[in-house]
Structure formats: C-alpha cells, structure tokens
Structure 1
C-alpha cells in the first residue's frame, strides 16, 4: 500500500473500538460503532472488506472516533471544489444536530469543520434551483452559505412551522425534500405513529372513522416556488397516505418516486416496503392498507377501502427501510446510467444493501413477478405470489456483520461525485464510504 494510503488507513481505524455513538431508532444503534477494517486500495481510498458486486469496491473515506466529526452522518452534497457537506443528526433530541464541511489535505486525509450547530434532526442537504444550499430540519427548511466567513450567521429559515415531533412523541420526525421541475419544494411530513392504533390494537379515529393522524401528516406537501430563494409558507397536499417519505426522487421526465417504510409489525417477513409513483392527489394507503391492498390488523375492509387507494409500483423486501433514491448519471459506471439506486437501511435480515434497479424511459422501476429477495447471513425468500418486485442487482451483497472485519451496513444517503464514484453515509457506524471501480 502506498505511504499516503497506509498512514490514512491507520488514522481511520485508531481508537474506533472505544468510540461511542448516540442512540438511533433501532436496537443495534445503542452499541458503539464497529470499525471497518481496511487493506489495500479502492481507487485511491483504503479498501474495506465489504463484499461487492464484480468490478466494484468500497473505500473508506472517514469513520468517526468519538471525539470529532459527525456523530450520526446522514445527508451528503458535493461542492464544486471537491469538498462535501454532511448533515449530522447528532441524536434523536432537539438541538444536537450540525452541518459539517469535509475536505482533504494534500495527502488525501479527511478534514472536518463544523459549519452550523444546534440544529434539530437535520437530514437532507441539497442545492436548490437558485444555486443556494438548503437543509431540512425536523420542523423547518433552512438555507446557509457554506463559504461565508460565519456560516452559522448565514442560516435563514425558508419554510417554518413543519410539524414538530415534540422529541419522542412522533415516530417519524425527520423532514426531507426534493425540488420539482418548476422549483416547488416537495416536503416529507412523516406519520406521528406506526399505524394509528392504541396499545390494544384499536384504531384512533375521527367521528368519520378516519385515522386521527392522517389529516396533516403522513403526506408529501408542495410549497410553490416564488423565486429568488423564496417558497410559499402555505402548502398543498401533493400525496397522502404515506407513512414515511424520507426517500424521494424526481426523474428528468417528471416522475416522482417515493420509498415507503411500511409499518413495524413484529413478523420479520411482513409487511413489505414499497416503491410508489406519486401522483398529485393520490392516497397511498397508510395506515389502512399494506402490500398490494391488504387491510392492516385493526382496520376492517370497509374502513380500509384498499381498492380505492393507489397501489405500489413494486414491493421491496419487508423491513428493508429505503432511505434514499438516486438516478445514477455518473461517468465511472456506464452500466448504471439511468438506473435507480436505493439504500436499504433496515437492521433486520433484508437491510444493509445498495441496489441498482433497471428503469423505463420515465424512470419507473422495471419489475419481475415471482422474484426473491436476499437475506443475511445467507439464503433468500419469495415475494408474494403475483407481486411485482424491482428488477436489478445488489451492489453490496456482502455488507453483513463480520466480526473483526466490518459492521452490518446501514446506508442512508448517496451522492455522485464529479468522477462518478458513489458516496454514501453509514449512520450507525459513523462512516462515509465511496463505491468505485475495482
């Protein structure tokens, strides 16, 4: 290994075993992050041992040691000079989040500088139609200038008053957003409960029999663009019946896709997560229906009215937990151009994967009937009879826990670098990784 890579690899792994991480939303998150062992080279970065599809490797850009840098890295956005912006959830507590700037010294070693702190559960960071940088917090969308002398002083609220989760009272507090073709902001507002039932499994309903949580939440809102970095505070409901729409993407043709994290029944093999094509005014079934139209326990068929709600375009493995969708347009992997990349963040047997899905000309996933999905540590399971499943390949088939070598993958957000490499955050392991050509 060249001296630069050798010294960088050593710096990346020193002290990681003792590092602490804030609690996350799954049982594994309370443990200290496991280090990625590195050996060899992955296109200029220390290579991890993660088993990859043929022709790909995963390099380690940075992993936290408990003393500096993001505690819970989530969003990623490249800057023109080769630096990166990274959002840091911090903790599932208000005021602990931050935005960091990741740069590299002359030897290629990572350097992190905190630009903004005191944020509440920041997630998405993206460049807007006006060229400015925008970030989603739990209850607002803000803008900041990463090049300002004092980035903290440059923070300005763009849209405020999004539903506040009152800390742990809300099951899905994170906001995320994408920009539509006309510049409008499409903003996720997650459901405040898992499936709108009480401890006895009885529905929480209004006088009309509808879920009490569905009136102003469990939806994607549309805020019209007013120009010059301004959006309407008032919004319209773009789509509803969506439990958790952290994963949103717009295709150049105008297609809007959403990755649905379905409800948390105790069974590991049901219900299935979903990919939905969002249409303005569509109702996608939460909390009444799952899969291709099955009423959830606690809701009768008459209450659920599944036949009147939009069906998913494809099912994903149960508890896969899609957290990001990205159409690949880079130069490094011509075979992936136009494909839909997904992160599956789930901590059960189906999660810890990045998948490249074939699409049609409008960006909609191509599907198969009678497919199977992979399970860790080995094996597979079938989708329901007659159900459409995404057609594609897993780029990270070996991202399961291997003692002494690697943690189970927990990929969150991806971004494509100028050279076409795919960068991804791993929040449970406090890591930023890079997929490159082997």
Structure 2
C-alpha cells in the first residue's frame, strides 16, 4: 500500500505544470522557444516521432541550478537529483535537488558542491544514493539535514584523467546483479600514439596505457554500502564507456565513443555486449575489424578482438542507455533507449532500439543512418546496425527556435515519461505523450 502511494505521489509531481525561465533570457544560440503544452509542461518546437512531444522542464539563465546538468535520479517524493558537471576542471561540480512549488515553478537546492566532474547518480543495492566523480564513487543522503556532511567516499583513487591532460576523464558505473560495481575507466588518449604518431608500446608490443585504463573494472560488493577498493578487470579495449547498462537477464552493454579521425564518416561508434575477459579493440581496431592508422595490422590483431554487436553512426557519441519499462509508452517497453550527444551531424538524437530476450540490440544488415541537415548516409555493406527508431528526428538547430540537442542522461519518471538532460543548453526536458 505504501509503495503504491509513493508511486502515485511521484507520478503526480512529475505531471504538474512546471513553469520555465523565460527562454529569451538564455544564450540566444542555446535557448528553447516554447509553444503550447507537452504533458503538463511547456512544449518545445522540436519535431518528435508520432505521438510524442518534448517539453521544457527548466532552462538555466542565472546562477541558480546546475551549469552542466548530467545525471538524473527521481526520489520517492517526486523530486529529482541532478548531477552538475560544472565545467571541465576539478572542483566545479555539484549535486542539486529539483523540486516544484505549489505554483509549478522549479526550485533548486544544492546538496553538495566542490565535486570533480560528477556524472552518474543511481540507487545502490542497499537503497542509498551513489554518485560518480572523475576519480571516486561517493554516497550521500539527500534527506539529511545537511546532505553535504553525509558525503562519504565508497571507492577512491580512480585514475585522475583530467581532460586538458588527457581525453576521457569521466567515471560512470552500473550495479551487477550481485551488487558488484562495474566502473568505467576511460582511455587517457585518443589512439595511444606519441607526438610523432607512433604507437606507445610496452615490451610485448601492446599499448602502454591499456594495463590500467580503457576498461570496465569490477569492485566486489562487501555489503552494507561497502565495496572492495581493489578491483579486477571485467572487460578492456574500451576507449570511453560512459554509456553502460545492465539488463535484468544479466547482459551488460557498453556503447563506445570511437576515436576522433578527421573525417565525419569514419570510424563508426559501437554497441558491445561485454563478457568477462573480453577485449573490444581500443586502440588497435575500429568498426568490425579495421586497424587504426598508426597501428600495423600485425600489432593490431583485429581478428582476435571481440567485435561489436552493432555499429552506430560515426561521431554519434552515445552517453547513456536505459531499458524502458514505463507505463506511458507501451510501444517502447523493453526497448533500449540511447542518447547521441556528439557535435557532428549524426548527433542530437534519442533512439529506441529493439532488443532480444537478453536485452541485446536487434540488428539490420547495412542500412542507412540519418544526418543533419535532412538526409542519410549508408552503413558499411554487410555490417550490423541497430534496429529501431529515432524519437527526436527534428532536434537540429533552428535559428530563433531551438538548439541542436545535446542529450546526456535519461531517467524514466514514475508516470512513465522520459526525462533528459541537455548539458550544452543547460536544460532539462521531458518526453511525454502528445495530445491527439
């Protein structure tokens, strides 16, 4: 009975009309214009898949609220926790609590500050709230009188991959079925090459950076909010595993942001099904089995690497994946939702991918992918691509009306709506059912 009341309260809070800051006060190139209503909040002008609309919950225009909203977690009373990257320097991040007043206006309370690039926020197997910083996993109590005083390090001494020295500083995590923490450690460079474009190798001819980075680590759960500081390598050869998700069947998926070659058409990003001990190619191989420039085929040994289950458009930059099981969109149940955050023409999209009973993406062979402005390009012949649909086909920049989308994290609210953060536009949005 109590659980039902909590869900009802959360659904009611999520459905309230939320007043937004005047969009004309925001940075003009990043402001969302609004017109009409989308499930109780102001509707943006973004063209959506049939039956959907994209509402603007909040867009920052002043010092109140997150500067770069990233992770989302709904609380039992309908409030939301939002991680704030703050900037690409240590100590600028925060955790905020979003609530709505009786008049529907958004209210912010900063729970913790001085954090280093916080990203993921999630409930653990013990019901506590956990947050990833660049170099640690922490817990805090959002209901404490002084939440900042409740901050406690759970796992420390993760690699301090500062962006200006390296490339992939953020940590993310998921909980395995037994409570273990699976933690992303990004690669400290793009391709493990020196200044002259030669491989940086160890005595065996492999990348010197791959022993302790470019991997997903497993930290054993010890119970009662404690995990082992020492870790084992779950999977490696993963350049940037910000997007991690675990299916109820036990399948763990990773979406790979591939390397930054100059062309906009190559290489392709990936979806990988992770297995214990698997190596997924970085920095040697991309696509299905293509050696990267700088790594000779005899060193790359692409035929020995785990191939992706599916390719994604090049430079899509997937940053989050969740399985949808909400009530608002029965047609999406069981699908894998994915954000594409990149700045090139394939990005600015949220996709809904069909899956099998294990949660792995269903694929088509070959096919095409959409680009902005309106058009499409082909996947490689014979290559598997994800099977599904784009929920946000019109999230391109329209002067005076909307920015190109930069979706980061998603969360399904108690009422089944899908909340999304957009860090470049300093906005929080909500996908709901459009009016017939």
Give the TM-score normalised by structure 2: 0.95
1:370 aligns with 2:366: yes
1:221 corresponds in structure 2 to 217
Deviations 1:106-158 (A, max 9, x none): 12111111000000000000000000000000000000000101000000000
Q: Which runs of 4+ in 1 moved over 3 A?
A: none
Rounded Cα–Cα distance in structure 1 between residues aligned with 2:149 and 2:93: 16
1:49 corresponds in structure 2 to 45
Are 1:94 and 1:167, in contact at CA under 8 Å, matched by a contact in 2? no
Rounded Cα–Cα distance in structure 2 between residues aligned with 1:12 and 1:130: 40
1:321 aligns with 2:317: yes
1:88 aligns with 2:84: yes
Report matched runs for 1:209-288 at 5 Å.
209-288=205-284
Alpha-carbon deviation of 1:167? Answer: 5.1
Alpha-carbon deviation of 1:236? Answer: 0.2
Aligned residue among 127, 145, 151 for 1:149: 145
Rounded Cα–Cα distance in structure 2 between residues aligned with 1:50 and 1:113: 29
1:387 corresponds in structure 2 to 383
1:101 corresponds in structure 2 to 97
Give the TM-score normalised by structure 1: 0.94
Rounded Cα–Cα distance in structure 2 between residues aligned with 1:226 and 1:206: 35
Secondary structure (helix, strand or coil) at the match of 2:58 reads strand
Rounded Cα–Cα distance in structure 2 between residues aligned with 1:344 and 1:287: 22
1:29 corresponds in structure 2 to none
1:136 aligns with 2:132: yes
1:17 corresponds in structure 2 to 27
CA RMSD of aligned residues (A): 1.3
Are 2:345 and 2:371, in contact at CA under 8 Å, matched by a contact in 1? yes
Secondary structure (helix, strand or coil) at the match of 1:329 reads coil
Secondary structure (helix, strand or coil) at the match of 2:30 reads coil
Alpha-carbon deviation of 1:421? Answer: 0.1
Are 2:202 and 2:208, in contact at CA under 8 Å, matched by a contact in 1? yes
Aligned residue among 57, 67, 70 for 2:63: 67
2:305 corresponds in structure 1 to 309
Secondary structure (helix, strand or coil) at the match of 2:102 reads coil
Rounded Cα–Cα distance in structure 1 between residues aligned with 2:429 and 2:17: 17
Alpha-carbon deviation of 1:14? Answer: 4.6
2:189 corresponds in structure 1 to 193
1:27 corresponds in structure 2 to none
Alpha-carbon deviation of 1:201? Answer: 1.6
Residue ranges of structure 2 left out of the alignment (5+ in a row) = 1-15
CA 1:413–1:6 in 2, change beyond 3 Å: closer, same or farther? Answer: closer
